[in-house]
Amino acid sequence: MTSLLPAQQWTAFRIPVSETMSRGRLTEQFAHCSSGLVIAPPGFGKTALLAQAAKAHPGPVTWYQARPDADERELLTTLGYPADALAGSAGPPGAGRPARRRDAGDGGAVGRLVVIDDMHLFSAAARALVIRLGQLAPPHPRVLIGTRPAAGLSAAALEAAGATVVNADALRFRSWEVEHLFPHLYDTALRPGIALPLVRATGGRAATLRLFARAVAARPDTGQERILADGMFGREYLEREVLAPLPDRLGRFLTETCLLGRLTADACRALTGRTDSAEMLWSLAHEHGVLRADPDGRTYVAEPLLRECLRARLTGTLTDVELTRLRVRAAACAAAGDHDDRPDPQPSAVRRRLGSADWPDPLRIVVAGGPDIYLGRSVGRVAQEGSGSSAALLVQGIAAALTGDSTAGATVRRALAEATDDALVALSGQLVRVALAVLAGGPARPVPYPELQRIAYDAERLDLLWLSRAARCLLGLGPHPEDAGQPVVVLEECTRLGDAEGAALAASAVCLRSVRTGRPGIGELEDAVRRFRALGWGTLEAWGRAALAVVEVAHDLPDAGQRAAQAEAFARSAGVPGARALAMGAMALAAPDAGHRTELQEAAWSTARSARLPVAGLRSWLTALAAPAGQAPSAQAPTGPVGDYGAAAGRAKAGGQHAAASGRVLAARSAPGLTVRCLGGFEFILAGREHDWAKLRPRAQAVLRLLAVRAGQAVHRDHLLLAFWDGVTTPSTLHNLQVTVSSLRSFLEPERPRGGSRLIARQGDSYRLVLAPGDVSDVAEFERAVREGRRARAQKRSEEAADAFRIALDHYAGELLPEDGYAEWVAGDRERLRREAANSAVALAEIRLAQSRPVDAVEAAERCLEIDGHRDAAWRALIRACDAAGLAADSARARNGYSAMLASLGIPPSGGLSHPM
């Protein structure tokens, strides 16, 4: 039997083998979920994705291919549950709770994975049973489901109940994925520029892309553009698999309205006279997946290739005269339904003709570092709508970010709040926000991959191709091999299109990736600097020259110290204090005298602080730039003060100007102490020393992070055994725990004798990470501020409560230990702290409302929604605050957002119906 599964897995059913590229960005979502749902129309690659997820599962797998005649009892028996699992259950079919599987415990700690493909073939009762199986907690197996859209199957409700849902939009191949797919899987090279039209015509459907590849291989003498234009390669498949299974009434409706480019209920009603047009459109989109709904929920579109199939149907049933009359009526109906109040997806404030290499003029000016583009000044001619517009705010945020000002993030958030109906500003702002988070977090900061995918896809769909390419460059900084080459691909694409600006940014992304992978290259940095200089981008040139100076000093090149001084002078004259601080760090690295080195390092950090630059992030980038070749930044490495750069850069040269010295500590703390941060990323800074985490076993690192989360508190050994040794208490596991703690003590405090650790103390059967006076723990500070806020609020001390909640939100830099992913031992604390942060933001908003400070209340409510977008109280507080502040537009957007959130959960906006789950 042919299988995608490795030898240690087995299956009771044949697992299909299919050709497709790795979809790591999708399969990783299923790695830690209890249940997953892949829901899409035919031909989107559901089975192939499920097979990849099964292959990645390290334990045993059962693959079940659904059949229309299978009932609940047969399903339970086949999957290994007792045949009488539903006996005695009352209520509708499938209402009972299945008993535990006979082999639920097999597969060890990993457990079994059950994959059920084509669930839409089941009866409604059997589908309900499958969904309930996926909601059972361990030791029941994990369940992955593949299905087409079906009546009564609510993906939003399942997602709200905890299932991981991958839909057709996520499965669609993007143009850059298609460019990789064809040469590597189909052995066919696409002609330059055809990938995007191909994706638009096929909707990114895997099956039609494969059929196009076969047509190209079968007709090598016919141009690819011609094959795509006639569309014959996919019509038979779409007719058979997509259109034929539709009910007759829906098929007729779809054919009658195919001359409309964008389908709305009003236009369809005017064209066909059907009063149930809205219900028809909704059914075609949500129950059959034939149409795709726009975000407004009122407009629907069909992929062009499918629309051509429908028009061919229509042509075969009407005479030429009838067809001409219908076209005239369709044009009139489409024009009547095109309201003037629809938001312009390409706003005039920052709009140019959107060709392949065209950038908006305001972004050109701000990236070039125009003299009047600084935070707090009027942007004047750059944004014609005035300094308070969303476009102007975005321009100001980018200008602040380029100089290194840490307030840029707040300005970009304000721009996003103003740009709800401004697609270009909204997508640009989202991309800038992601880039700021990645850069501020240091080279080990995880890249928010799903958000970047969505930005790149939405920008491409709106013909903002330069913006899509910029997002793809950041995708190349992510963890997935299929996107590792995106910066180079975008660089080549921009060079071919003549997009010099995009090529310069792509070159900088190539540099960023090389630094993140531990291979900072001098040639790559020199290329980026040359491109910035040719474009007149003085601000980015200052950053490039400073980074290049650090790498040159680390490689001990001749006159590297002089070039570092030149980079500092250039950054000073360009007015880029962040780049100046980085260049001063390079000068400190090159300084032969310890006293001069200390003076330079203090000046560098002082310059960074005066510019409101995140000093910890700058230090981490400096560490990575000066690291030995091939040493990638560790996810656990601290991003705060760093240690001996001379040793890190491997620049010891006896008798030379840059001889290594033990006193070369660029970022030593003024006084020994401990700083531990777990919110937004792990940092562990002890007496200013950097730790080489690669020398510590992964389990020991995880134990340290757990103790860091509970810093100052005793953690019982049973809790550690449960987290890292599956809760097994035996002499062997107890010994392993003791050895792990001992290795931590020796690693963190190598200078102390055995048994003399002051950092990790034992109290009976518990261990504690000791916090001495002056030590800092962000989790402890956050929890302390939350307690003080609650106490003050209960005692009617509103201002003190507000101050405490504000301090708590300042400490909450992000979710707890994001680098640990979905590890069970961190999930509970992560959710608890997230909930407390959201509660603190809501409480702060309510206090500010009571104090008649609605603007501050808006900020607090928005912060809560950043943390938890489904917090009902935050939406209500935001609406009340906008109303109180007289922000009519913001209030309308907040109400729309609240309604959209409720709709995504299947809850009517009125709240009159109970929650569907």
455-483: per-residue pLDDT in tens? Answer: 888 888 778 888 888 888 888 887 777 67
- Location of structure tokens 């090279």: 189
Rounded to an integer, the average pLDDT of 579-589 is: 89
Whether 491 has a pLDDT exceeding 80, the answer reads yes
Please give the residue that has the higher pLDDT: either 52 or 98: 52
The most confident of 93-97, 392-396, 656-660, by mean pLDDT: 392-396
For the sheet containing 61-65, what is the strand order?
Answer: 61-65, 113-117, 142-147, 35-39, 164-166
Whether residue 754 is predicted with pLDDT greater than 70 in this model: the reply is: no
Which range has the top average pLDDT, 75-84, 240-249, 443-452? Answer: 240-249
- Percent of residues, the chain, with pLDDT higher than 90: 9
Phi, psi of 117 (to 5 degrees): -100, 150
Q: Which tens digits make up the pLDDT trace of 513-547?
A: 888 887 777 888 888 899 888 888 888 888 899 99
Which amino acid, 587? M
Residue 402 has pLDDT above 50, yes or no: yes
The answer on pLDDT for 346 being more than 50 is no
Q: Which two three-digit tokens encode residue 599?
A: 């003076």
61-65/766-769 β-pairing: unpaired
Average pLDDT over residues 261-286: 88
Chain-wide mean pLDDT for the chain? 77
Mean predicted confidence (pLDDT) in 294-298: 73
Q: Say if pTM beats, i.e. exceeds, 0.75.
A: no
Residue 873 pLDDT exceeds 50? yes
Q: Is the pLDDT of residue 284 over 70?
A: yes
Q: At 763, phi and psi to the nearest 5?
A: -130, 95
Task: Give the pLDDT band (50/70/90) at residue 409.
Answer: low
pLDDT digits (tens, 9 = 90+) for 163-199: 888 888 888 888 888 888 888 888 888 888 888 889 8
**Is the predicted pLDDT of residue 385 greater than 70, yes or no?**
no
Q: What is the mean pLDDT of residues 265-269?
A: 88
* Alpha-carbon separation of residue 296 from 40, 89, 421, 453 (angstroms): 20, 42, 11, 20
Q: Taking 50 as the threshold, does the pLDDT of residue 652 lie above it?
A: no
Instruction: Tell me which range, 376-390, 670-684, 825-839, 888-902, is most confidently predicted by mean pLDDT.
Output: 825-839
pLDDT for 727:
78
The pLDDT of residue 95: 44
Per-residue pLDDT at 566 exceeds 70: yes
Query: Do 438 and 477 meet the contact criterion of CB atoms below 8 Å apart?
Result: yes
Question: Residue 341 has what pLDDT?
Answer: 38
The predicted pLDDT at position 19 comes to 58
CA dihedral in degrees (635, 636, 639, 642; nearest 10)? Answer: -120
Segment 293-320 mean pLDDT: 84
What is the predicted pLDDT for the residue at 753? 67
pLDDT band at 359 (very low <50, low <70, confident <90, very high): low
66-80, 691-705, 787-801: which is most confident: 787-801
Residues in the chain: 917
- Is residue 492 over pLDDT 60? yes
Q: Look at 39 and 321; give whichever has higher pLDDT.
A: 39
The answer to whether 833 and 709 have CB atoms below 8 angstroms apart is no
| pLDDT tens profile 614-629 | 777 778 888 888 875 5
